[in-house]
Amino acid sequence: MRNPVSTQWIEITPGFAGYLALPPAGRGPGLVLWQEIFGVNDHIQAVAEQYALDGFVVLAPDAFWRQAPRVSLGYEGADRERALTLMRAYAGPDALADVAASVACLRARTEVADSPGGPRVGTFGYCMGGRLAYLAAATAGVDAAVAFYGGGIHTQLARAADIRCPIQFHYAEHDDNIPPEAVASVRSAMAGHDAEVLVYPGAHHGFNCWARASYHMPSAALAHGRALAFLAGHLCKA
C-alpha cells in the first residue's frame, strides 16, 4: 500500500532546509516541528509523518544546518556527546532567525490551507525543540504552540509576556533536566495566559520517543491526543 503521506526536503532559506510532510489531502493547517538535539533523525521524521497523517502540513527545520547539515544522531555514546556539542553552539540569535524563517516559509506554502485571517500555522517540539516552540510563540506570531519537556524554558520566562497565542506544555514527573521547581515557575509565569501545563506521572525526559529507553507509551499516547486536540481546536477554525 502506498504511503498516503508525501515527504521531501525543501529549502527554507539558502542553505537552510526542512523536512516537509504533506497530509493525505495534500493541504491542511501548518505545523512547524522542532527537533531534539539529535537532528531531524528517523524519529523526528516519523513524528512529522504522524502529524501529517492527522491532517497537518508539517515542516521540521534542520536547526543545526550551519554546523552539520542534515545531521541524524542516536541517543547514546558518541552520538549523544556530539548532539550536546551542537546544541551548545546553537546561538540564540541563530535560533530566533531560524524560527522566524521557518514560520514564514510554512505560512507561504500553497499547501497550508487558507482560513479567515490567513493561513494558520502552529508549532511544536521536543526538548530543545520545545524551547524553540516556546520562542516561536513569543516572537514569530504563530497561532498555537506546544512544548514537550522544553529544556531551558524556565530560564526565558521574561518572554512569557510576549506570548499572545494559546500554548500547551507537557512535562515528565521525573526529569533530571527540568526539576519540579522549573515546571512550577513556568506555571506561575503563564498564569493569566491561554495556557495549559500538564505533568505525566511516572514519565521521564524523552517519554515521547519510542527509540529511547525513557519511552513511556501511556504518557506518549495521552500527550499526543491532548496535543492533537489542542492544535486542531486552534488551527482548524472555520
165: left (phi over 0), alpha (psi -120 to 50) or beta: beta
CA angle 117-126-60, nearest 5°? 55
User: What is the C-alpha to C-alpha distance for residues 54 and 33, in angstroms, rounded to an integer?
Assistant: 14
Sheet holding 30-34, edge to edge: 6-13, 16-22, 57-61, 30-34, 121-126, 144-148, 167-174, 195-204
Annotated catalytic, 127? yes
**Rounded to a whole number, what is the distance in angstroms from the first to the last CA of the chain?**
33
Annotated catalytic, 205? yes
Active-site residue identified among 62, 98, 143, 175: 175
% helix, strand, coil for the chain, step of 5: 40, 25, 35
Active-site residue identified among 43, 98, 105, 127: 127
- Coil, strand or helix at 95: helix
Active-site residue identified among 43, 154, 204, 205: 205
DSSP letter string over 137-149?
Answer: HHHS--SEEEEES
Q: Which residues are catalytic?
A: 127, 175, 205
